[in-house]
Amino acid sequence: MASPQDNTPSGATPKPQTHEETPDQVKLRINGGERLNIRKNNPAETGFDPATSKWVNYFKVLTGSMTKEGQFHYREHLYRTNEERDLRRCEEQRDWLFRYSPVVRYMRDQIRLLGGELDADNVVCRRCPSRLTADGRILGQAGGFSPQHGILVCANSIRDRKHLEDTLAHEMVHAYDHLRWQVDFVGEKDLRHAACTEIRASMLSGECRWTREAFGRGNWTVTQQFQNCVRSRAIMSVRARARCRDTEHATKVVNQVWDSCFSDTRPFDEIYK
């Protein structure tokens, strides 16, 4: 599953809305039928106008004359503008990590022992658009794994080479779990499979180490910080599965498998980071 950046909405799947859509919204169907209002940019309301120069829009951000929604659309516009640069940087960093990163090289070797192969053909960098819902939630990701296609890296979401290393390690744990145990990765039959591989991926990738939480996410908690991070990120990822009803359901499933999956560090002897 994707290294998540935000939750999908909670609650039971509502009936399709029958009212007419407003011009600044589109409907996105997710989670087996749930419909989200996805905000499109309205320059008169947000202050962001793609027809003006980058510096004019940047000045609006600095002076507070662009709304939070406008800043979201401005950022997505820059991602589109800088797509070629971001893809080139992502591919260069990916190739470097496959040559020199201890964790990436080790996971690649372990995947090879199971008959799999990860390389530039199936670890691909792409621009991944985020979406802004009508209630202000941002739906996005840093990467993802598909048993049929390999690993997707969202080049526009990668901050630096260390972030890419964590993202690759997360998705490579999913690939390892798929090859070794044929887990029900998307949770179509058993969400506990999805919960277990998400716990392991967050635990073993390094994305929940204290320095990432403190300096990257502003979480300076010391006691149980690592466990809390792994649990919360696993819940977010399980919540995104189509068969998961809501956050309460995701939490229950994660708790059911927590003890056995959090103690399973394979293919490492212990938690690497």
Distance CA 21, CA 19 (A): 6
Distance CA 164, CA 28 (A): 28
Distance CA 273, CA 262 (A): 14
Query: What does DSSP assign to residue 4?
Result: B
Is 171 noted as a catalytic residue in this protein?
yes
Residue where the block lists tokens 């560090």: 265
Q: Which residue of the set 69, 76, 165, 171 is catalytic?
A: 171
Cβ atoms of residues 67 and 43 within 8 Å = no
Query: E strand or H helix at 178, and its extent?
Result: helix 161-181
Q: Which residues are annotated as a binding site?
A: 170, 174
Q: Which residues are annotated as a binding site for a divalent metal cation?
A: 170, 174
The count of other CB atoms within 10 Å of the CB of residue 252 is 16
Sign of CA dihedral 58, 51, 67, 239: negative
Catalytic residues: 171
